[in-house]
Structure 1
């Protein structure tokens, strides 16, 4: 692909991008959300036209005007959201659009036989006659791959293929991808997960802001170089924790809060301008503790005190009215209104405060939303587009913008960078640090220990529903992964973890 340029509604998505891929290699395509990876691949797969540039396969120029032309050129794109007909059989999905017939009827016997041959080559454990809806996500991916192989595809594009897979299913997929590579197929692999890139990639190309930055051979790959290429700055500068900042007085005090079950009576304090990390193993109760404080789940005991005032929080609206915000772990299910516009998502928490005689001015909504988009560098074509249509990183920033519109004194963040790429993480870290500098008290749940250590002034550790330890960098204590895991696992200090 040479000189590929693409614009949407006057916004440049790709500018003079080059990409070269060889047979028999796994070529990782990396870059932050919105860098242009998916757009470039959709051009290669015929879903989008290019405004400029050319595509050559085996040295010959080709015109890929639609997905059918891409298939004829030997190109297959497997989307993150699989494109299968769930009520049809595996064989019917594999032959969709190129069904075999006997007279006026489908030749199911031949379709099943040929599908079985392809499935056997992949080591699939299901049968051509099985209904797709009964298959696991990993097995459905195998159906997509089988369809590509049936079409004699020589270029296979995989967009975030492990997003919904377990660790075991992911490793099985990796084995299959390596097998396809060894059979001479060129695989373009899109992922934001560094560990997958280290495990699979023979070569990496990086896009940033719609432009080609460069490529690395396998022996050149390192986290430092990748971050520098994707974000434009070194790894050590990724976290935005501000040295020597002033920590204010206690803003939030939680005393002996409990749900009478999973969460044992827990107490903590947050100071103005302080970032407190909440660490622990999966299932330790971190999310449940935040939900209790916010009123999302009922508490059986405990007090929440804000600026010395005892609060009566029985539901989230009580916490919001008091100036406490909560960004949940699952932004799509619990955070955003995906089918609503970005402007409405941002203004949602302000409706009661801003409404005059039961209504809120559309002009006022636009003012609030426009300011938030600028402050948080949310990349969108217009305020009216749905939250669903944004990238993961921009969705997360949209959710942050909604909470910050109410100017909270306390903000709880549950896995704020989960599912976003390294570039979006960097921007979210900047936003968090800026909030702390403005005096907001932040409680941040994260399963990524480098993130917890890099951002936090203090770290609280939970184990089995109890707060079991505290590490404080403001008094000179060094916070390490080993110390956090000592508390999180219940190991004795100095004992091998």
Structure 2
């Protein structure tokens, strides 16, 4: 079932067209990788879906209803969570404090026990390898910090999670750990949009690859039926747009 659908999404900044007539579909339990060179429009797309920037034109459909996303709070209320590349974690706070920062459980005072219990529930949902929820985030590895950021995004029970370059600057073991998290999200029935430059990561976990080039769609591919070379050709513009559109129709059929 398609949970999120974009049609004709466009965004300009002054005289610069950042996005033009973007189309994208994300189903429940599906990982869609969005790839493209620098300046392709990936960051702008993430900001539109997360409510940072409103789209200038186009339609966003969420769970069958046309919606407008004018703020991060509106995206959160809908069920769209975003984990940005910088993670926005407080290194001096522990895992529990980071997970519930700004959303503390407190009928009259902080309910530390309830927050610890919920923290472990979220981490177990991801099959995460965190030694303790009482350790400061500063003591965690890059992969473990990504785990905390993803777990925090699950607090609002989202239907779609956007991961912005989740494996950037991570080592081999930490990257594998994060890719396992992405698979857990899919197994839990969430739609996942993964922004990535790493083709190995894309082909390891994605179901579909949507290529953006110069702010436009340049192909949607089924990962099981496309090579890394074909994806790179679409990113660089080496493929003819007619071929890309044919691949797009085939992937959506």
TM bracket (short chain)? 0.7 to 0.9
Match of 2:125 in 1: 121
Match of 2:37 in 1: 32
Spell out, residue by residue over 1:357-412, the C-alpha distance to the aligned partner (whole angstroms, 9 max, x if none).
Answer: xxxxxxxxxxxxxxxxxxxxxxxxxxxxxxxxxxxxxxxxxxxxxxxxxxxxxxxx
Conservation of the 8 A alpha-carbon contact between 2:142 and 2:174:
no
Match of 1:50 in 2: 55
CA distance in 2, matches of 1:109, 1:179: 26
Give 3-state SS (helix, strand or coil) of 1:20's partner: strand
Q: Choose from 202, 207, 230 the match for 1:202.
A: 207
Gaps of 5+ in 2: 1-5, 240-253
- What is the deviation of 1:82? 1.3
Spell out, residue by residue over 1:414-458, the C-alpha distance to the aligned partner (whole angstroms, 9 max, x if none).
Answer: xxxxxxxxxxxxxxxxxxxxxxxxxxxxxxxxxxxxxxxxxxxxx
Q: Choose from 80, 94, 100 the match for 1:95.
A: 100
Matches within 5 A, 1:343-358: none
- What is the deviation of 1:124? 2.9
Q: Does 1:136 align with 2:150?
A: no
Runs ≥4 in structure 1, deviation > 6 angstroms?
Answer: none
- Kindly report the root-mean-square deviation, in angstroms, between the aligned alpha carbons of the 2 structures: 1.4
| Bigger Rg over Cα | 1
Q: Choose from 59, 70, 73 the match for 1:68.
A: 73
Match of 1:225 in 2: 230
Aligned length: 233
Give 3-state SS (helix, strand or coil) of 2:24's partner: coil
CA distance in 2, matches of 1:185, 1:63: 21
Match of 2:181 in 1: 176
Matches within 5 A, 1:233-252: 233=238
- What is the deviation of 1:58? 1.0
Give 3-state SS (helix, strand or coil) of 2:194's partner: strand
Conservation of the 8 A alpha-carbon contact between 2:211 and 2:235:
yes
TM-score by length of 1: 0.45
Give 3-state SS (helix, strand or coil) of 1:18's partner: strand
Q: Does 1:86 align with 2:91?
A: yes
Conservation of the 8 A alpha-carbon contact between 1:116 and 1:127:
no
- What is the deviation of 1:146? 0.8
Spell out, residue by residue over 1:464-483, the C-alpha distance to the aligned partner (whole angstroms, 9 max, x if none).
Answer: xxxxxxxxxxxxxxxxxxxx
- What is the deviation of 1:32? 0.8
